[in-house]
Amino acid sequence: MPILGLREFDTGTGKLRELDIKAGLKKIESMGFIRTMRSGDTGIGFTLETLLGLRETNVRGRQDFTYDGKPVELKSQRKATTSMITLFTMEPHKIQFNDRKMIETYGYVNSYKRKGLKVTLTTRAFVPQGLKLRIDAGHAKLAIADRNGYEPWYWTMSDLKPKIERLLLVFADSKGTGKEEEFHYNEAYLLVELQTERFFSMFDEGVLVVDLRMHVRKNNTVRNHGTAFRIRGLEKLMDCYDGREKLL
């Protein structure tokens, strides 16, 4: 059951309602270990969101709630994890190249004998499909570039910033596995004042990557699982912000 009541969107304005996140987190911490409400990697986030009365959303530019009147994005992580974590998914601006053309131009035939494009991109080197990330700091832009210098897809910092401008990181101890996994949410930080240069530097350091996850189905339609921004540990984001408030 949600401990703060169900949060709804204001259907008239599209605004998020205010959440007393300090009180909510302290109450959740006092509950000790809590059984997961969903098995698998996403269980930690789904369980926390459910306890807070939040709904899952991957809407472009949509945050999770407001705190002190300002939108906040919520992310959670098991303290002991060494896995890559999805920070958010966001489709880029697609210049002339839609999903199908990207697959036809840069894709490959996978083990299911269907054309696909599932690759992890960094700024460091081209993948075998001839793609990499390119940062244009002067124009605050992150692009996917090929070996000829063409940039079929890109994001601007104006696209990315709303999802991470104010970020709440919640960390939990965990025990058990699968449906029996339990979480004790006991550490949390609110990060504000994002610094663009530091954020972009995390791509050059290999901490942040972009995953393309597309393939052509048997019926010849394209399935895109969402272009994902993934990170090697949420705690590394703390260096990208000038402001930090410890909530737990």
Which residues 6+ apart lie within 8 Å of 49 measured at CB?
55, 56, 64, 74
Residue 207: DSSP 8-state: S
> How does residue 13 score in pLDDT terms, banded at 50, 70 and 90?
very low
Work out the mean pLDDT of the chain and round it to a whole number: 91
Residue 40 per-residue DSSP state = S
Contact 18, 5 (CB under 8 A): no
Pairwise pLDDT comparison (35 vs 137), residue with the higher score: 35
Residue 173 CA, chain-centre distance (Å), reads 21
Q: Is the pLDDT of residue 78 over 70?
A: yes
Contacts 24+ apart (CB under 8 A), 21-25: 21/52, 21/65, 21/67, 21/72, 21/168, 21/190, 21/247, 22/247, 24/51, 24/52, 25/170, 25/185, 25/188, 25/247, 25/248
pLDDT for the residue 82: 86
On the question of pLDDT at 234 being above 70, the answer is yes
Q: Is the pLDDT of residue 11 over 80?
A: no
Backbone dihedral region of 207: left (phi > 0), alpha (psi from -120 to 50 degrees) or beta?
Answer: alpha
Helix (H) or strand (E) holding 99: helix 99-106
Predicted local distance difference test score (pLDDT) of residue 10: 39
**Angle of helix 21-30 relative to helix 43-52, nearest 10 degrees?**
120
pLDDT band per the 50, 70, 90 thresholds, residue 56: low
Amino acid at 53: G
Instruction: Check pLDDT > 70 for residue 197.
Output: yes
Q: Which two tokens stand for residue 67?
A: 């705190």
User: Is the whole-model pTM more than 0.75?
Assistant: yes
Residue ranges of domains in the chain, CATH in brackets = 21-246 (3.30.70.3570)
Distance CA 35, CA 29 (A): 13
Q: What is the mean pLDDT of residues 64-90?
A: 92
- Asked whether 186 and 248 are in contact (CB, 8 A), the reply is yes
pLDDT in tens, 135-191: 998 889 999 999 999 999 999 999 999 889 999 999 999 999 999 999 999 999 999
